[in-house]
Amino acid sequence: MKSLFDVDAWHEIFITIRKNKLRSFLTSFSIAWGIFMLMILLGSGNGLKNGSKSMFEESALNTIWVWTNITSKAYDGYPKGRRVKLQNDDVKIIKSEVANIDKLSANFYMGSTPFAYKTESSSFSIKCCYPAVKEIDKLEVEKGRFLNHLDIIQKRKVIVISKQVVDALFKREDPLNKMIIVNSIPFRVIGVVKAKDDDLNPLIPFTTYQVVFQKTNRVHNIALTTKQISLAESEKLEQDIRTRMAHKHHFDPTDNRALGTYNNFADYKRTMNIFSAIQMFIWIIGCGTLMAGIVGVSNIMLIIVKERTKEIGIRKALGAKPNSIISLILQESIFLTTLAGFIGMVAGAGVMKLVVLIMKWNNIESDTFVNPSVDIGIAITATIVLIISGVVAGYIPAKKAAKISPIEALRYE
């Protein structure tokens, strides 16, 4: 078999390609198009999947939220249309009686509240919460510290703010340990948190709010994270909370309006299952496109061998060995397949990169389409599959033609 570095062999291959430009183009195009479409399909699928993942990652994946509303069913002598209100006791019940809870925070939201610092003033909504919110909402402290257990116990008048509050009240001044007036009450700034968006509510201890502002034990919602448990266990925990709250507040456990819950983990699993099905569909289409390329290569290789049957007869009559004939045909097949596969791979990756750049240049921020990249290993594997297919497609007819006697080959029409 001729060496891959045989200059004469490669010279002959390039002459053959130049003589059959259309045939060589069609062969290359079918291969490049198959790889290109696979890259585009996989990249688009990954972009959609990454977008969905990023939306779930705004808070801890294993988070469950609980809130109440108005009953929609009569139950145990109580009429429908009754408002259910969460209270401090409900937080204690859930925390002490429900298994597999990791972090938990009772939350209350104050509407537009006046803020003032020196001559600057503005209004912000406030989130009254527990320190666990840091892990639940995946908040990052940029300066200072976050709320802690002592802030809750001692009902300290401390506040954690976002960049939005810093820009509105402090301008270029360092806000740490400064006193700001919140609805006529002085609060000390202990930290600045970094968030994905600037519209993050300032945070104060939940117990401070109940003593200083509301004088009540009302809770708007409860957010909690679970331990490392399965989806079935997470859904059981969710149902356990519903059962206990229904018993305490006298409403039908099946009344989803009376008590609302959102299981981030369950929703994530359902969404990822949908995208797994979509990716499987994409792979089926992509593999179908690759198969079309393989069939195209096979047909063209059959044509190449038929066209060169007389040439093969002449070579054999001049003493060429069957292996040298097979090698020449295979080298042409490998060269075209590798070159076209590489072009398709680069073009596909380039288009995906261009999409990202266009979105960036036009300040298009999409929560549903993020980083439409493709694993380069997958692209290389697909190209190798095509190369192997090209080798097989060329080898079978080439070997058959190489076995023909010179006389038969010269008579071939």
CA 66 to chain centre: 26
Q: How far is CA 348 from CA 275, 284, 339, 356, 380, in A?
A: 21, 18, 14, 13, 12
Q: Which residues pair with 162 in a beta bridge?
A: 193
pLDDT over 60 (residue 412): no
- Residue-level pLDDT at 270: 82
pLDDT over 50 (residue 209): yes
- Residue-level pLDDT at 4: 52
pLDDT over 70 (residue 9): no
Q: What angle do CA 65, 74, 246 make, to 5 degrees?
A: 35
Which one is predicted more confidently, 317 or 105? Answer: 105
Closest CA to 110 of 128, 123, 122: 128
pTM given for the model: 0.69
Tens-digit pLDDT profile for residues 173-184: 999 999 999 999
- Residue-level pLDDT at 35: 81
Q: Which residues pair with 127 in a beta bridge?
A: 109, 203
Q: What is the Cα–Cα distance from 372 to 296, expressed in whole angstroms? A: 29
Q: What is the largest CA-CA distance in the chain?
A: 107
332 falls in which pLDDT band (50, 70, 90)? confident
Q: What is the Cα–Cα distance from 401 to 145, expressed in whole angstroms? A: 79
Mean pLDDT of the chain: 82
Residue 224 has φ and ψ, to the nearest 5°, of -145, 155
Tell me the two tokens of residue 322.
């069957």
Radius of gyration from C-alpha coordinates of the chain:
34
Tell me the two tokens of residue 218.
């009302």
pLDDT over 90 (residue 187): yes
Closest CA to 296 of 30, 23, 17, 20: 30
Tens-digit pLDDT profile for residues 245-294: 999 999 999 999 999 999 988 888 887 788 778 778 877 877 777 777 67
Tens-digit pLDDT profile for residues 33-68: 878 888 888 888 777 777 776 666 667 788 999 999
2 falls in which pLDDT band (50, 70, 90)? very low
